[in-house]
Structure 1
Amino acid sequence: MGISRATTEKVRERADIEDVVNDYVPLKKKGQNLWACCPFHNEKSPSFSVSPAKQIYKCFGCGKAGDPIQFVMDIEGIGFGEAIKHLAQKYGIEIEEDKASTPEDIQAYNERESLYIALNFAKDFFVNNLKSEEGRAIGLSYFKERGFSQAIIEKFDLGYTLEGWDHLLKAAKAAGHSEEILLKAGLILQKEGDPSRLYDRFRGRVTFTIHNLGGKPIGFGARILTQDKKQPKYINSPETEVYHKSDVLYGMFQAKKSIREKDNCYLVEGYTDVVSLHLSGIENVVASSGTSLTENQIKLIKRFTDNVTVLFDGDAAGIKASLRGIDMLLEGGLNVKAVVFPDGDDPDSYSRKVGSEVFNAYLTSHAQDFIAFKIGLHAEEASNDPVKRADLIKQVVLSLSKIPDPIIRTVYIRQSANLLEIDEEIIQVELNKIILKVQKDQYFRDQRDQETQETPFEEFLPTQEEHVSYTTQLEAQEREMMRMLVNYGFEMVSEELSVCAYLLQETEDLKFETPVFNKILNLYKDALANDILPQPEYFLNSPDAEVKREIINMITRKHEISKLWEERHKIFTITEADDLAKSVYDNILRLKQKVIKKMLEEARIKIKEAQDSKGSNDSMDDLLKVYMELKGFQIEIDKQLGIVISS
């Protein structure tokens, strides 16, 4: 169930952008705006601007932009609803439910909330068990032996589950939690063959609470402390409505702020590795909890940084089995480094063995980029074996093919050639084979349900450079037209005609190629139809983050002309607002010019198709006639814009 519109509006009214941002970064006034170093990327000179007057923020370095709600979503890595709740709590606003929700929505919402409440109860129950006689003797003793401080135990909500079949079940039912919700939360189990017999899932184990990005408990990992070989070392919560293993990384709630600040994420295997690194003062660390990395987990890391350092146990066989994870990280657009610990050690054991200072120094000095790491891993066995050496080259090239950025890929090609002592061209040739195969496979997948064409479709299209250039120019001109509409819509270009009336009239038959500008245009027209004068603030209240970001880009400037130029030095500059009629008129002409260029390109393609298929003379004449008419329109517009056309 959603949050009511009234609650959202109260949050919008109360939330102050300066107040919200100041909770995370210190702001300094410069001109009309406030400035800081961007909290979303590393920089030395402030490019992060906050406008109290417009209630928006924008980074001119990384492009992040939005209102107070969007800022909380970006900085905390949470969704819209969670951001509203966060701000409502900050400003003491009562959260009202959305009365327009269907009964099914209400039931689903209530069930999810009940799961969260039950899981939080279980977390508190496990944590408090550490204070019991059994908990102190077994659970707390285990944590203390590993060097976990009380502050760390509280930070990660570490706990203990008592021996016995139903301690949690009895306590939860006494507190009002239903058996149905406890089952759905994965906290209790039904006895096989007798569904009426219920018992605790976790018994006689220490627990590691798994949190979502907002800090709510959503599951648990539980470690056995005895040497019972019939029992698994770890038991984890099952998939539930609120816990999807493929979407979660252990420790991300505690690490996200540090990951963003350090612009790097350490990736380890287990719960204790994460906790031990925090003890060593390293907070930008998460764990895959013993499972294979997933695409969603990689996307989660990328929300906070582009850099990841994988920490491997000192076990060569285990490392080689984990290399697929590195390729997945590369494919996800991350910059990957690796650190290997001495044989027999993992991050947890090594940090306890050498202490925080030596451990931190080891991470810094032993971090290798993935190419040096992968080659070094196989170098010894491949040095005197041509077959294994050839296989190593193929494995390196396969990893290189996963890198989406061509510039980064080129740098690594050169490095690989040097380390492998082979010609750079050999790597490039093998890499091209892989990339070409991937492209061909994708092409045939896309064309599987379409008719086969004798002539490759690519021959009819503009070159990639022409297409990219044209697309960029058209998008830029569409943005300019929307910027004029949003900023000057209700200014007058004549005694009887407003900017918005003129622009909407002239573009009535045009359809924008860029979807977000179509969204803004439709919002603008809908507002006018409802007798609303859509100023920029109207669009900033839209729930569409893409719309808000574009509007902010349209109404903000990185640099402002100082008032002292006019007041003290009498230097006057001409702006587009000084001759608004000409600015708007030229803007429309340029937009039409770009649209006609697109139509000319489409006409050219149709003519080439007709030539190659040897169509009728009549159809060719019609196509040529259309082409010449469009060419005439282009020449006329170019003349009005003062563009000289060479014969």
Structure 2
Amino acid sequence: MRINPDTVERIKQTADIVEVVGDFVSLKKKGANYSACCPFHNEKTPSFNVNPARQIYKCFGCGAAGDAIKFVMDVDGVGYGEALRYLANKYQIEIEEEELTDEETLRQNARESLYIILNFAKNHYQHQLYNTEEGQAVGLSYFQERGFSEGVRKKFELGYSLDNWDAFTREALEKGYSAEVLEKAGLLIHKEGSKTAGYDRFRGRVIFPIHNVAGKTIAFGARILKTDKSQPKYLNSPETEVYHKSDILYGIFQAKNAIRQQEHCYLVEGYTDVISLHQAGIENVVASSGTSLTVEQIRLIARFTPNITILYDGDIAGIKAALRGLDLVLEEGLNVNIVLFPDGDDPDSYVRKVGAEAFKNYIKVSAQDFITFKTQTLLQDAGNDPFRLAAVIGEVVNSIVKIPDAIKRQVFFHRTAEMMKVDEQMLISEGNKLLRKLHTPKQQERNSRSNASFPEGLADLGVSSPGSFSEDGPPQDFFLQEEEEPQVQRSKVSYQEEAFIRLLVLHGARELEPNITVCQYVLGEIEGIDFKDTVFNHLLTLFREHYSRNTVLSTDYFLNHHESQIRDLAIGWGTEKYELSELWKDKFEIFVPFETDVLDRTAFINILRLKKAFIEEKMKACQQQLLQAGTEEEEIAVMNEFMFYKGISMAAAKELGSVIG
């Protein structure tokens, strides 16, 4: 089924870009706009900008841009139709649909088919929990014994799968779902050697649906309740097109708002840990589902907060689990604390034993930053053995150097030196050695590339190659910027063409004076000129064609254009990377005019710069012709033409205030 155009338009008009993006990342108000660290690439400094006035987003780091629908498509990896359905559900808009042709039905996104069958499975398991004798006697009794109220069971959409070989599969096939899709979703397992017979993956287990950030069911965790040593206690969905275990955290959908509001995230190991804490009113909690913490999971938390406290079991295995892989958290710039519970307890059992308030107080007094925790744990294990103590220093320093922030590193070097009773400068020196080892190979590669074209003899004069460190560079900080892709060289004319088209796209419909729009003025000034850049020339042609019919294209026309390249250009032009502080005007009484305040002058300057760039291209052509001239008469003719263009260029430069050499 296809969503009809009227419903699509209603969704577009209703969806608020700040609310939609805010469901996935933690936005901070910045002047008239909002900013955040980009969810589409790894960054420490926010370069992701949301413009509520134009209802668009733009990342100045990776270039991602679009409207609310495009954001949902990209952040959740779904098709256009599924993004519309998500927004319609969010804003409670009734969807009116139209029939698809057979060909269109065949082309439906395979990912959407998986989402549909997984949602069907979730509803099936919930129905079995509440509406069958087995579900009530086994599954519901188990959840009630754990103290899970009806509210929290509904919140996490808990369910039960009957202890039957193919109860779910038979119902799904009867509803028209194919065995192929069931298998792709990880719900059906085919018997060995058979392509027709199969059985339910999760039979005879309580079901924990796993949701993505948008709230869609993407997988299941299932726990067996009977004693059967031939079966694993927990069984999870396999990797599918919509479920990658390393990318998701259990409970992130239910916890994201609380994490954002409290600016803190608790990380636990299991499903029941998350649900028990929610039951106790502690909602800013997610689980790694028993897997080692991954970079993708850390970055998922970082969308909502830089502060994380890891709650682990208090046994030896729990301590080792707490130490394992946490350098990854430090590398991503998060502030990480550790809490260990008394032996024999995990977050689930401890909160049920002491209650919510005592649990919160225990976390408050027991939390230690990761570096302090690691130092104390390793020192206790090393005792007085000098060799093991030396190894501890190496271990701790190795963790400290993973922290991107230089000030934080300095604080931890100082604190660690006091704890270990060693010289602080010695720790810093060891840290620098590790940093050099880490970055020297990459730096040598860069130096070799830059030195390949570096003029010989300049080094003898004290000139450093572009890729080398100078004495003025920081001797203790070797954190280097990621290498950027080489930029394609653009001509001066291309830049002026872009500035001209940008002016038309953003301000073409504005009036410079009564009944004279920017579009009318600038198009009249460049009559007969075509642009060299194909995209800019296409946009110029669009403006000319519509203006010939007395229509001026609006900014919204380009922000919603069907061609992604044009749409992305318009979003980039319409999004300001920096905002002027309000203090300039309110406190210091400094008035800085905006582009719209001096639009007439801006339009004139753009036209002049464009014409100057074209003239300079003609001058370059004359210089080439001069080299090829065969007679003195031809040389004189070309020189006269060159001097004519030179005179125009100098006049334009004088008007623009350019310095002429």
- TM-score above 0.5, yes or no: yes
The correspondence of residues 222-301 of structure 1 with structure 2, limited to 5 A, is: 222-301=222-301
User: Separation in 2 of the partners of 1:255 and 1:503?
Assistant: 57
Match of 1:459 among 465, 473, 477: 465
Cα deviation for residue 233 of structure 1 reads 1.1
Match of 2:574 among 551, 557, 560: 551
User: Separation in 1 of the partners of 2:529 and 2:396?
Assistant: 56
Cα deviation for residue 86 of structure 1 reads 2.9
- In the alignment, is the contact (CA less than 8 A) between 1:7 and 1:93 conserved in 2? no
User: Separation in 1 of the partners of 2:391 and 2:468?
Assistant: 40
User: Separation in 2 of the partners of 1:575 and 1:195?
Assistant: 68
For 1:226, the aligned partner's letter is K
User: Separation in 1 of the partners of 2:408 and 2:249?
Assistant: 27
User: Separation in 2 of the partners of 1:122 and 1:111?
Assistant: 17
Cα deviation for residue 406 of structure 1 reads 3.1
- Secondary structure class of the residue paired with 2:148: coil
User: Separation in 2 of the partners of 1:547 and 1:125?
Assistant: 46
What is residue 159 of structure 2 aligned with on the other side?
159
What is residue 220 of structure 2 aligned with on the other side?
220
Cα deviation for residue 323 of structure 1 reads 2.2
- In the alignment, is the contact (CA less than 8 A) between 1:11 and 1:87 conserved in 2? no
What is residue 45 of structure 1 aligned with on the other side?
none
User: Separation in 2 of the partners of 1:191 and 1:462?
Assistant: 62
- Secondary structure class of the residue paired with 2:197: strand
Cα deviation for residue 408 of structure 1 reads 3.3
Single out whichever of 359-368 and 530-539 deviates more from structure 2.
530-539
The correspondence of residues 468-479 of structure 1 with structure 2, limited to 5 A, is: none
User: Separation in 2 of the partners of 1:504 and 1:268?
Assistant: 67
For 2:96, the aligned partner's letter is E
What is residue 641 of structure 2 aligned with on the other side?
none
User: Separation in 2 of the partners of 1:368 and 1:486?
Assistant: 54
Are 1:312 and 2:312 matched, yes or no? yes
User: Separation in 2 of the partners of 1:170 and 1:224?
Assistant: 21
Tell me: CA distance 1:251–1:579, structure 2 relative to 1, closer, same or farther (3 Å): closer
**Where do 5+ consecutive residues of structure 2 fail to align?**
24-29, 39-48, 474-479, 485-491, 612-648
Cα deviation for residue 210 of structure 1 reads 1.1
What is residue 555 of structure 2 aligned with on the other side?
536
**Where do 5+ consecutive residues of structure 1 fail to align?**
25-32, 42-47, 472-476, 512-517, 564-570, 593-632
Are 1:126 and 2:125 matched, yes or no? yes
Cα deviation for residue 78 of structure 1 reads 7.4
Identity %: 44
What is residue 476 of structure 2 aligned with on the other side?
none
Cα deviation for residue 409 of structure 1 reads 2.9
- In the alignment, is the contact (CA less than 8 A) between 2:505 and 2:558 conserved in 1? no
Single out whichever of 271-280 and 497-506 deviates more from structure 2.
497-506
Tell me: CA distance 1:78–1:333, structure 2 relative to 1, closer, same or farther (3 Å): farther
User: Separation in 2 of the partners of 1:93 and 1:7?
Assistant: 10
Single out whichever of 129-138 and 106-115 deviates more from structure 2.
106-115
Tell me: CA distance 1:508–1:352, structure 2 relative to 1, closer, same or farther (3 Å): same
- In the alignment, is the contact (CA less than 8 A) between 2:447 and 2:467 conserved in 1? no
- In the alignment, is the contact (CA less than 8 A) between 1:34 and 1:50 conserved in 2? no
Single out whichever of 581-590 and 386-395 deviates more from structure 2.
581-590
The correspondence of residues 490-509 of structure 1 with structure 2, limited to 5 A, is: 498=521
Cα deviation for residue 405 of structure 1 reads 3.2
* 1:58-88 CA-partner distances (Å, limit 9, x unpaired): 99xxxx99755478789x9776835432334
Single out whichever of 256-265 and 444-453 deviates more from structure 2.
444-453
Q: TM-score, normalised by structure 1?
A: 0.70
* 1:60-117 CA-partner distances (Å, limit 9, x unpaired): xxxx99755478789x977683543233443334366998xx96x9646354333323
Cα deviation for residue 417 of structure 1 reads 2.8
Cα deviation for residue 213 of structure 1 reads 2.4
What is residue 42 of structure 2 aligned with on the other side?
none
For 1:115, the aligned partner's letter is L
User: Separation in 2 of the partners of 1:538 and 1:572?
Assistant: 32
For 1:548, the aligned partner's letter is I
User: Separation in 1 of the partners of 2:410 and 2:610?
Assistant: 37
- Secondary structure class of the residue paired with 1:399: helix
Cα deviation for residue 390 of structure 1 reads 1.5
What is residue 369 of structure 2 aligned with on the other side?
369
Cα deviation for residue 126 of structure 1 reads 1.7
Tell me: CA distance 1:130–1:291, structure 2 relative to 1, closer, same or farther (3 Å): same
* 1:391-441 CA-partner distances (Å, limit 9, x unpaired): 122112211222233343333333333333322222221222222222223
The correspondence of residues 474-485 of structure 1 with structure 2, limited to 5 A, is: none
What is residue 92 of structure 1 aligned with on the other side?
94
For 1:221, the aligned partner's letter is G
User: Separation in 1 of the partners of 2:375 and 2:439?
Assistant: 27
- In the alignment, is the contact (CA less than 8 A) between 1:34 and 1:51 conserved in 2? no
- In the alignment, is the contact (CA less than 8 A) between 1:7 and 1:95 conserved in 2? no
Tell me: CA distance 1:135–1:366, structure 2 relative to 1, closer, same or farther (3 Å): same
User: Separation in 1 of the partners of 2:95 and 2:290?
Assistant: 41
- In the alignment, is the contact (CA less than 8 A) between 2:31 and 2:581 conserved in 1? no
What is residue 421 of structure 1 aligned with on the other side?
421
- Secondary structure class of the residue paired with 1:459: coil
Alignment RMSD, CA only?
Answer: 5.3
For 2:431, the aligned partner's letter is L
User: Separation in 1 of the partners of 2:192 and 2:572?
Assistant: 54
Cα deviation for residue 179 of structure 1 reads 2.1
